[in-house]
Structure 1
Amino acid sequence: MGFVKEFKEFATKGNVVDLAVGVIIGGAFGKIVDSVVNDLIMPVVGILFKADFSNLYIPLSDKIPADASLPLAEARKLGPVFAWGNFVTVVLNFVILAFVIFMLIKGINRLKRKHEEAPVAPPAPTTTEQLLTEIRDSLKK
């Protein structure tokens, strides 16, 4: 089998296409979750706890003020920082994403169970079966 033909067969299999679609949708969904966390959740958390997590860090260089008064982006330009606030934001992203995926899978599994539990009507007898049934009934009489 030629390389091109073999690759074409591999690439057009359902699993490969499904995986590609999943990766693309997952990437886009990750951006949505990032936006939800950074634009909706973290500002509320910042107001409640009087902190902006995205700019919380511990300076690891003498060039950076010890009171961490600079925004994180500017502090990183001056030297290394331990950006624990950014880490908290990323962890929240992961937890929200994992919860949403869990709820999605749970819903899909529920739909599958309902579909599997639905009684399947037996197929209607074919004309041959109907004819044989009539012959059998006639012979019984």
Structure 2
Amino acid sequence: MSIIQEFKEFAIKGNMMDLAIGVIIGGAFGKIIDSLVKDIIMPLISVITGGGVDFTQKFIVLGDNPNNLQSLAELTKAGVNVLTYGNFLTIFINFIILAWVVFLMVKVMNRMRKQEEAAPAAPAATPEDIQLLREIRDSLKK
């Protein structure tokens, strides 16, 4: 079997297509979740906390600051060594909120799935020939 034929069989298999579709949908879903956190949840948290959720301007100057620069942009542009712990905190808080939203969504989906599974299916009617065979069996026992 040629390598082209093997690759063709590999590419056409259902598992690879399922994976590709999952990656594409996952990427789009990630954008939706990111927008939900950034555009809806974070502004609400900012209102609740008084706007104190953005820590990106929190930093510690680690090197010499001969010009006594105060903003992070100026320090970075001047090449001063700066520990930007605020940016890490902001990204970490965003991650925690994002993970919480995804957890809640999965929890809702699992609850919906369990409700569908829990709905009892109507018992299938016994086929007529099986019922007849049971009656014959019962009469033979007597």
TM-score tier by shorter-chain length is 0.5 to 0.7
Residue equivalent to 2:16: 11
User: Letter of the aligned partner of 2:16 in structure 1?
Assistant: A
Larger deviation, residues 32-41 vs 54-63? 32-41
Quickly say closer, same or farther: Cα 1:62–1:37, change in 2 above 3 A: farther
Residue equivalent to 2:24: 20
Q: Could you give the per-residue CA deviations for residues 12-63 of structure 1, whole angstroms, max 9, x where no partner exists?
A: 2x24422331133214422542445765545764x466x8522111112213
Q: Alignment RMSD, CA only?
A: 3.3
Uncovered stretches (5+) of structure 1, i.e. residues with no partner: none
TM normalised by structure 1 equals: 0.68
Count of residues in correspondence between the two structures? 130
Larger deviation, residues 114-123 vs 3-12? 3-12
3-state SS of the aligned residue for 1:54? Answer: coil
TM normalised by structure 2 equals: 0.67
Q: Could you give the per-residue CA deviations for residues 60-96 of structure 1, whole angstroms, max 9, x where no partner exists?
A: 2213766x731x2232112221111111110110110
2-structure distance, mates of 1:73, 1:89 = 17
Quickly say closer, same or farther: Cα 1:37–1:134, change in 2 above 3 A: closer
2-structure distance, mates of 1:48, 1:63 = 29
Quickly say closer, same or farther: Cα 1:84–1:136, change in 2 above 3 A: closer
2-structure distance, mates of 1:21, 1:27 = 10
2-structure distance, mates of 1:37, 1:61 = 37
Q: Is the 8 A contact 1:54 1:86 kept in 2?
A: yes
Q: In the alignment, is residue 95 of structure 1 matched against residue 96 of structure 2?
A: yes
Uncovered stretches (5+) of structure 2, i.e. residues with no partner: none
